[in-house]
Structure 1
Amino acid sequence: MKFNTIYTLCLAAFAMTACSEDIDLGGVGTENIEFPQGGVVYVTDAQGKRNFSTVEFRDRITSELNIHTQTPRATATAVKFQYDENVLTEYNRKNNTQYKALPANLVQFANDGVVTLEAGKTLAIAEYTLTSDGSLDPTETYVLPVRASVSSGDAQLGSVDATRLIYVRDLSGIPDCTKYVPGPDGKFVPGAKLFSCMEVNNTNPLNNLSFTIKGDSYNGINRGKCLFDYFIIFSANINFNKETGRVYVLCNENVQALLDNREKYLKPLQDRGIKIILGLLGNHDGSGVSNLSDAAARDFAQECKALADAYNLDGFFFDDEWSEYSKYNLHLSYPGFVEPSVEAASRLVYEFKKAMPERIMATYIYSTTTSLYEVDGVPSGEYVDYGLHDYIKGWDLNENGNYPGMPRSNQALWSQNFSTSSDGNKFITKDNLIWLRENGYGSHMLYAMNPFEWNFNWQLETMNECAEAFYDDTLVFDNKTYQKDWK
């Protein structure tokens, strides 16, 4: 991640933008997505995704599948959803995977799974409820296999909508980092997600545990919850081995120390509900996020899946910097490389998500990953879970078709950098953060938090502003700090 020390962006215009009195949870940008036309109905999840649906729950949750048509139909259409383990069996066979089916007794479809899209309407909602019985392993991902069929009416389902895999984790036994705030209807909904992207060459991840929410607001619903929802290990590298002709993951001695000693440095964060994401960054040898062939991207995704399985990682963060593509021009000399492009970067991230649909894929909005393209019919806003802006940048990622399908709640605007002068980052004020919340932008990133740096008081002030703006509460620092204690 680059170290910007001079800022030229002025955010005053954003601060003056009129805000709604209600919290806008942020709609999914669908204006740039191609959906079936005519007599075809299609299915999305609650986030508007036709692919890669995930659900995490504690004790009990009710979620939904949505039936859509682009134009109102003259007659009603009924669609039936049902649990069908054969859907997962076939998927495992084709993809050489071993996902376990969510037990059928934990799933209940409302109205026996039948939902009717009434004549003249373009949307109908089918609800299903997942209930924990305490039998599921919270570290394992299960799959709810669903088959859909038109039970009455003359409409047809889209080709990708007849079957669906919903990746489920029952976290009933694990503390929750999610902070809740009142939604437009007065019900509590998840608040903003805060990312800690930490330079681990000199900072101990355990410091992320020292910051919690006091819980004075909303009858203590957020009391004691960790401020940070995600911790990004910054960073592992994409490297090229000329002897094998393949790229591989290189972890320097600091990243590797954390992985090898995950019980000490990473598991305590996960035990408090913080998800662990591994950064992937170029390393000055000509290989990187945006120059792998389709086949090389698939191979690299499988290698990283094995790494994630081995170290129980929750996802990956793609940062297209420091590769020095033009210095080496690997595509001119080695198979497995292509000329650097947005297409290649899109393919890489898509292959990661395809190999690990249950894991989080986040991109740094910079260089080739500023805008990713549709791959195999899947818009980038579906295979990328979070888009984390470059420092103090704040434009909507659905604009101009950059990440179609990504909801505002997953767009991290106006990231802040603690590794530089506090004056530079004061472009981001508490009012800016409130603007994000009121306009439905539900994510934010803080880079290089370190309690041993000279500007820690400013870091504390900024983190408290996040607590106040996003959760109407205050920060608690327990005064525990952790030095780097590995070699």
Structure 2
Amino acid sequence: MKRITINKFIGLFCMPVLMGLGLGSCSESEIALKPLDESRYEVIGEQYGYFTDETGKQDFSLVEVRSGNSSSINIYLNATKKLDTASEIKLVYDTEVLERYNVSTDNAYEAFPQNAVFVDAGGGMTLLEGEQRSHSLNVSFTVVDGMTEGTTYVIPLKASVISGSLNLTENHQGYLIFVTVQKNLGDCDKGGCKVFTCIESNDTNPLNNLCFTLKSSGKYLFDGVILFSDNIVLDKETGTVHAGHNDNVMYLLNNREKYLKPLQDRGMKVILGIMADHTHASVANLSEETARAFARELKIMCDTYQLDGVFYDDEWDKPENPIPPGFVKKSPEAAARLFYEVKKIMPDRLNIAYVLGNTRDFSSEVCYFMDESGTKRGPEYYVDYAYIDYGHDGVVDQDMSDNYPGLDPTRWGMYSQEFARGYWAFDTELEKIKAQNAVNFVFAYDPFRESFSTPVKGKTQVQQLELMARILFEDEAVYDNKPYRKDW
């Protein structure tokens, strides 16, 4: 990727902390599930249970719904080993689960109104003898009068064992569904595949994500934008790291009402890119304590600017020898630790990995971390999307099964494209993305780049976006001819 120079950074601990509003949306379409590597969760002796959603998210789910609309989600009961006898559990609405979560994470989420939540089958779920996964339990919900647009509410569910040998630890007796209520201005929720743009914030206006819609459905073509890129700034006097800002990124954040909120109002995610700044500090060499402190800074940023998540790029660092205090040798383990610490305190926001360098492979046992309940947490817990590099670095046939065990194929960022230099995805590659409802990341989309209308390597940006709309969404791309110049 192109380099963006850091010009300014802010003492973030002086900023007011606001509640984070952005959540990952769940598709309403049928998803082909890939079994998790449950062997990593097996406990010798007793059989323990835990809950996941359709995409394998454990203990919590992320959903958004428009004002006046309804939505639903399927939940599954899983076991750490095959059951000796059938077990029956019951899930019920219980605000105590949310109260405990708010206290433990220093948050203040409101509960989704109980009278607007319906749990199918009275909340009953059965895990049969010899099985490790139950049939789905549907939880549906409706936005009712009095709920505030732009606010995140939580549906708290508590489980109890009715019969059988399955055990539920205290940490796994609850399940939280984070629901963001969005204003109904039209949306990008097409179901199935998603398309994210990654823009050069120095010269591209993020509002250009509004320029393309689909003719038949009326949905927006793009599902989110990555602001590339913020930096990890090393303060050598204190040995600490901070989140710093490029002047252009700073301007967009300080003027989010104009440049970012219109995207979020239509359901698009706004993601902050993070990378090194030609110093020792990177996303892959922070010690455990430094990673935990930096995760808190990222949370302050996401809360303050109402961002929907973080994108991590392991490039442009300048290692020092000997290694300074607060740091470790660069490794996938250190990168995974940062992801894990961020996800622990921001479960309602997206963690997106750029599959390059030390974020190429999180399959090693050292990339699994033990939480407070004694459960191992791997990449399926702390990574939401894996953005495969244009050169497909280290990923065979775009298959992330070995690199990110347990990460559902719907969360693979396959056949990424670079629109400035003409790294286009072919028809057959787009068809593979379509086949598994995966994600496509596009770098350097911009109506003011020459490649928008002048062919590069035989194609223009417009032609490629038309092809993507046709294959991924079986629709026709419509360009409104109202592009947004950089005006700051």
TM-score range with shorter-chain normalisation? 0.7 to 0.9
The letter for the 1-side match of 2:467 is: E
SS in 1 for 2:430: helix
Alignment equivalent of 1:49, drawn from 43, 57, 79: 57
1:81-100 matches, within 5 Å, as 81-100=91-110
Alignment equivalent of 1:138, drawn from 149, 163, 170: 149
SS in 2 for 1:124: coil
* TM-score of the two chains, using structure 2 as the length reference: 0.85
Report what 1:277 is aligned to.
271
> Over residues 43-67 of structure 1, what are the superposed CA-to-partner deviations in whole Å (9 max), with x where a residue is unaligned?
2222222234222234212222212
Alignment equivalent of 2:230, drawn from 223, 236, 247: 236
From the superposition, tell whether residues 159 and 476 of structure 1 become closer, same or farther in structure 2 (CA, over 3 Å): same
Mapped pair 1:103 → 2:113? yes
Percentage of pairs with the same residue = 38
Report what 2:409 is aligned to.
408
SS in 2 for 1:472: coil
Deviation at 1:306, TM superposition (A): 1.1
* TM-score of the two chains, using structure 1 as the length reference: 0.85
From the superposition, tell whether residues 42 and 95 of structure 1 become closer, same or farther in structure 2 (CA, over 3 Å): closer
SS in 2 for 1:164: strand
Deviation at 1:29, TM superposition (A): 5.0
The letter for the 2-side match of 1:113 is: G
Deviation at 1:253, TM superposition (A): 0.9
Q: Residues 50 and 161 of structure 1 are in contact (CA less than 8 Å); yes or no, is this contact kept in structure 2?
A: no
Deviation at 1:361, TM superposition (A): 0.9
SS in 1 for 2:264: helix
SS in 1 for 2:178: strand
Deviation at 1:280, TM superposition (A): 0.4
Deviation at 1:250, TM superposition (A): 1.2
CA–CA distance in structure 1, aligned partners of residues 260 and 99 of structure 2: 33
Report what 1:261 is aligned to.
255
Structure 1: gaps spanning 5 or more residues: 4-22, 180-189, 216-221
From the superposition, tell whether residues 397 and 136 of structure 1 become closer, same or farther in structure 2 (CA, over 3 Å): farther
CA–CA distance in structure 1, aligned partners of residues 100 and 107 of structure 2: 10
Q: Residues 51 and 175 of structure 2 are in contact (CA less than 8 Å); yes or no, is this contact kept in structure 1?
A: no
Report what 1:187 is aligned to.
none
1:316-355 matches, within 5 Å, as 316-325=310-319, 328-329=320-321, 332-333=323-324, 335-355=325-345
1:7-22 matches, within 5 Å, as none
1:140-219 matches, within 5 Å, as 140-157=151-168, 160-171=171-182, 173-179=184-190, 190-215=191-216
Deviation at 1:130, TM superposition (A): 1.1
> Over residues 416-447 of structure 1, what are the superposed CA-to-partner deviations in whole Å (9 max), with x where a residue is unaligned?
11121x3xx25x21222012212x05100110
Report what 2:483 is aligned to.
481
CA–CA distance in structure 1, aligned partners of residues 398 and 328 of structure 2: 30
Deviation at 1:454, TM superposition (A): 1.7
Q: Residues 111 and 154 of structure 2 are in contact (CA less than 8 Å); yes or no, is this contact kept in structure 1?
A: yes
1:338-487 matches, within 5 Å, as 338-372=328-362, 373-376=367-370, 377-393=376-392, 395-400=397-402, 402-420=403-421, 422=422, 425-426=423-424, 428-438=425-435, 440-457=436-453, 458-486=460-488
Deviation at 1:279, TM superposition (A): 0.4
Deviation at 1:405, TM superposition (A): 2.0
CA–CA distance in structure 2, aligned partners of residues 283 and 465 of structure 1: 36
> Over residues 240-271 of structure 1, what are the superposed CA-to-partner deviations in whole Å (9 max), with x where a residue is unaligned?
01123211111111111111111111112122
CA–CA distance in structure 1, aligned partners of residues 277 and 409 of structure 2: 32
The letter for the 1-side match of 2:438 is: G
The letter for the 2-side match of 1:477 is: Y
Report what 2:456 is aligned to.
none
1:298-309 matches, within 5 Å, as 298-309=292-303
SS in 2 for 1:92: helix
Q: Residues 80 and 115 of structure 1 are in contact (CA less than 8 Å); yes or no, is this contact kept in structure 2?
A: yes
How many residue pairs align between the two structures? 440
SS in 2 for 1:348: helix
Report what 2:373 is aligned to.
none
SS in 2 for 1:87: helix
CA–CA distance in structure 1, aligned partners of residues 39 and 447 of structure 2: 44
CA–CA distance in structure 2, aligned partners of residues 43 and 56 of structure 1: 20
SS in 1 for 2:354: strand
Report what 2:125 is aligned to.
115
Deviation at 1:24, TM superposition (A): 8.8
From the superposition, tell whether residues 312 and 399 of structure 1 become closer, same or farther in structure 2 (CA, over 3 Å): same
CA–CA distance in structure 2, aligned partners of residues 397 and 342 of structure 1: 19
CA–CA distance in structure 2, aligned partners of residues 24 and 139 of structure 1: 27
Structure 2: gaps spanning 5 or more residues: 4-28, 371-375, 454-459
For the aligned residue pairs, the C-alpha RMSD in angstroms reads 2.2
> Over residues 129-174 of structure 1, what are the superposed CA-to-partner deviations in whole Å (9 max), with x where a residue is unaligned?
1121133223222222221111112332356421222222233635
